[in-house]
Amino acid sequence: MDLPVDRFGIVRRTAVLRHGHTDDLLKARTRAGDLIHLGHGAYAPAGRLPDDPQRDDAVYRLRCIAFATAGRGAAPVLSHQSAAAVHGLPLLKPEHTRVHLLSGQAGRGDRCHQRHIHPGVATAAIVVDAVRVTTLERTTIDVACAAEFAQALTALDGALRLGATLDSLRAELAARRRRGAAMARRALEYADAGAESVGESWSRAQFILADLPPAQLQVPYRCRTRTARTDFSWGGRLVGEFDGLVKYGRTYARPGQTPADIVGEEKRREDELRALGVMVVRWVWADLERNRVVPEVLRWLHHFHLVGE
């Protein structure tokens, strides 16, 4: 039985009841795994959600939209991680337990199990997908000021990819004094739109904190049968590649390609790079989690005399 879905892809309890169904149906469909309860009388149809690893992000985005469009009083202004979710700003290990919004008052804030109300007035709130959110620049700086270096850098890299500029981010940071500004300012010095994923930004953060020589991003190498664009390049001798799970999913696949086809293609690409005398180092998310990337890259930087002894 199909349940009514609104323009956001959300099943609203009020609409279900209007169609003559009951709460018992919603509970049964939730227990069966067909629906995911978002709170605020809203549910996400599980079949419409993407597969891992984007599923959690998609559920959280719908939860924020469900809260912002619940129709109770004036529409709130989403901020921080919640605004980032609506903007499509990718974050490193975001906190998905609460919906973040502004209180509308300079000194008033509050936090409970489901909501984090931040003090502040959104004088330049914008509407994205019919939801009021802080601007991309303010959202990014708010996140960066409340984060560790790697998380701040990831947000700033992502904002540049979405169209923000270094000048607009610097202006937003300078406009308001806040806790965490020093961390955001440091990360802003290294922000680069050339980092094309959360994993690449996290990799960069680890390289920066380990004081490795800066890598060039998205450097093309002309190989025998292709031009290979690489994630990281040092001195034309060493290439680093982050392999995210989504890389072998639908995002990068051509029609008819399987994950095995893509892995084989990547192997041939790597062989052609090595034929140019370029060493290729690969890593995955688990390597970043276990701090295994910097030692391996550093070993090859020493091998090619690209770093001081």
Q: Domain range spanning residue 168? A: 70-190
178 and 118 share one domain: yes
Question: Is residue 13 in a domain?
Answer: yes
- pLDDT, tens digit, 9 for 90 and up, residues 32-85: 999 999 988 999 999 999 877 788 999 999 999 999 988 766 678 999 999 999
- pLDDT, tens digit, 9 for 90 and up, residues 18-37: 999 999 999 999 999 999 99
Can you tell me the distance from the alpha carbon of 309 to that of 304, in angstroms, rounded to the nearest whole number?
12
Q: What's the token pair of residue 303? A: 């091998």
- pLDDT, tens digit, 9 for 90 and up, residues 134-152: 999 999 999 999 999 999 9
Is pTM beyond 0.75? Reply is: yes
Question: Is residue 116 in a domain?
Answer: yes
246 and 168 share one domain: no
More confident residue, 3 or 204: 204
228 and 277 share one domain: yes
By the 8 A CB rule, do 4 and 11 touch?
Answer: yes
Average pLDDT rounded to a whole number, residues 237-242: 95
Can you tell me the distance from the alpha carbon of 148 to that of 95, in angstroms, rounded to the nearest whole number?
13
Residue 65 neighbours by CB distance under 10 Å: 26
116 and 168 share one domain: yes
Nearest to 197 by CA among 228, 229, 242: 242
What is the structure's pLDDT at 108? 63
